[in-house]
């Protein structure tokens, strides 16, 4: 029997559709609907999603759908195994609005999705019996070594090996500081025996030393002194300053200085957390006249806390943020050796940034964008993709431009 080309094509399309559905079996499509108070000032929208253990990442949607009776709508694919929050911003050629109120999508009760929900005694991410949590999500007789701490077990680290803090019979062993398990005699255990990170080498809580120039756990700031009235108090708390300048110029990883034209550059020690490693290479920098800014930089180690900067600001913005980079590490010899993301106010502004790939070695490289702030603190976070994120300088200017209104979600 002959099959027409049209029927064959429909069969192929159907097969592709079924394969696609199988690949996203743990996802669902929802319709997002919203309105915009001042649509004439907007050229597009961005929709962001987040799950309980992740911040808002890159936009899940960017565009300008047609409005019907003042309401915009798009289909959006979200997870079916973790709760998802959706928020939206409006943008134009100048700025991006603050995020809208979040629209929350809970997870349907599904045994085996790894989330303990109403009606489940446990949920270990599968529907296999014999691992402590049954195929119908009820507690089974304890099985030491399955990684689930069950009734009758003092611990369960996923193995039956003695000497790692949890014995072969799932009882607590004598304290072993640095194993990441809080045991008798320990006030903390952060998985290492390194001092200076809030938990000491003997697993006792460290007390931050205000005035040492290092922002430690529990400090809002640390500017290297114990004086009030300079923005960081004698007890290392950020001071309110109604007359704070509308502009920051920060020499990241280096000292403060003043240029011949009178520009004042501040050190970054009062604004940075994480990224305690600094470096310098005093070589000439192409494409700039302020070499000292680019010749020093700060970077985050792979095993340490992320590189984060926090700047107190007055007002909501928008703020014009300039980030200054130069690749001066002699170990970086080709593209792809240092790649990272830049997240500003929980929004991905730069993804997979590779300075060497963009300009090569010892060239100034600057990126600029506008951002609104709704909590009084402008936060920059640098997340590693490959290698160690780095930064040489920051400039923040209050643009005093009209605020864009945030979108407003509309119920179906």
Top-confidence residue, 31 or 19: 31
Taking only the tens place, the pLDDT of each residue in 20-54 is: 433 445 788 999 999 988 888 888 999 988 876 67
Top-confidence residue, 57 or 371: 371
Section 187-193 average pLDDT: 77
Nearest to 87 by CA among 41, 50, 116, 135: 50
Kindly tell me if the per-residue pLDDT of 134 is higher than 80.
yes
- In this prediction, residue 244 carries a pLDDT of 37
State how far the Cα of 67 lies from the Cα of 358, in Å rounded to an integer: 39
Q: What is the mean pLDDT of the chain?
A: 79
Beta carbons within 10 angstroms of residue 363's beta carbon: 18
Kindly tell me if the per-residue pLDDT of 328 is higher than 80.
yes
Section 172-198 average pLDDT: 74
Burial pattern 152-180, b for ≥16 Cβ within 10 A else e, equals ebebbbeeeeeebbbbeebeebebbbbbe
Kindly tell me if the per-residue pLDDT of 7 is higher than 50.
no
- In this prediction, residue 205 carries a pLDDT of 74
Kindly tell me if the per-residue pLDDT of 175 is higher than 70.
no
Tokens standing for residue 261: 């034209």
Nearest to 48 by CA among 65, 32, 37: 32
For 7-105, which CATH superfamily applies?
Immunoglobulins (2.60.40.10)
Q: State phi, psi for 377 to the nearest 5 degrees.
A: -135, 125
Flag whether the pTM goes above 0.85. no
State how far the Cα of 394 lies from the Cα of 268, in Å rounded to an integer: 9
Section 166-180 average pLDDT: 78
Taking only the tens place, the pLDDT of each residue in 82-101 is: 788 888 888 887 777 877 87
Nearest to 45 by CA among 59, 25, 30, 62: 62
Top-confidence residue, 351 or 198: 351
Burial zone of 207 (CB within 10 Å; 0-12 exposed, 13-18 middle, 19+ buried): exposed
Could you give the 3-state DSSP secondary structure of residue 166? Answer: strand
For 247-398, which CATH superfamily applies?
Galactose-binding lectin (2.60.120.430)
Domain coordinates in residue numbering, the chain: 7-105, 207-240, 247-398
- In this prediction, residue 197 carries a pLDDT of 67
């Amino acid at each position: 029997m002959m099959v027409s080309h049209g029927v064959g094509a429909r069969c192929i399309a159907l097969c592709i559709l079924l394969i696609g559905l199988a690949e996203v079996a743990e996802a669902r499509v929802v319709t997002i609907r919203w309105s915009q108070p001042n649509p004439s000032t907007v050229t597009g929208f961005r929709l962001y999603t987040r799950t309980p253990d992740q911040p808002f990442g890159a936009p899940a949607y960017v565009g300008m759908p047609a409005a019907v009776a003042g309401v915009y709508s798009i289909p959006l694919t979200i997870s079916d195994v973790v709760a998802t929050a959706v928020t939206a911003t409006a943008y134009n050629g100048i700025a991006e609005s603050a995020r809208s109120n979040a629209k929350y999508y809970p997870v349907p009760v599904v045994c085996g999705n790894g989330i303990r929900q109403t009606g489940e005694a446990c949920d270990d991410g599968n529907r296999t019996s014999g691992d402590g949590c049954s195929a119908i999500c009820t507690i089974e007789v304890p099985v030491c070594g399955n990684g689930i701490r069950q009734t009758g077990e003092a611990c369960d680290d996923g193995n039956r090996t003695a000497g790692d803090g949890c014995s072969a019979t799932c009882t607590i062993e004598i304290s072993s500081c640095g194993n990441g398990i809080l045991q008798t005699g320990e006030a903390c255990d952060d998985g290492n025996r390194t001092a200076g990170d809030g938990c000491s080498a003997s697993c006792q809580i460290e007390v931050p030393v205000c005035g040492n120039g290092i922002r430690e756990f529990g400090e809002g700031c640390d500017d290297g002194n114990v004086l009030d009235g300079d923005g960081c108090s004698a007890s290392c708390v950020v001071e309110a300053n109604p007359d704070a300048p509308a502009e920051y110029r920060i020499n990241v990883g280096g000292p403060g200085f003043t240029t011949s034209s009178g520009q004042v550059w501040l050190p970054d020690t009062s604004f940075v957390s994480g990224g305690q490693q600094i470096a310098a290479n005093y070589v000439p920098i192409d494409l700039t006249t302020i070499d000292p800014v680019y010749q020093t930089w700060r970077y985050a180690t792979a095993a340490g806390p992320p590189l984060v900067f926090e700047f107190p600001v007055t007002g909501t913005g928008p703020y014009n943020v300039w980030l200054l980079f130069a690749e001066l590490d002699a170990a970086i010899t080709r593209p792809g050796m240092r790649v990272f993301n830049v997240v500003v106010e929980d929004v991905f502004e730069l993804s997979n940034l590779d300075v060497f790939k963009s300009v090569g070695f010892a060239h100034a490289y600057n990126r600029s964008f506008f951002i609104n702030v709704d909590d009084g603190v402008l936060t920059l976070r640098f997340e590693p993709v490959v290698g160690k994120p780095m930064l040489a300088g920051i400039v923040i200017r209050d643009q005093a431009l009209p605020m864009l209104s945030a979108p407003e979600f509309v119920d179906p």
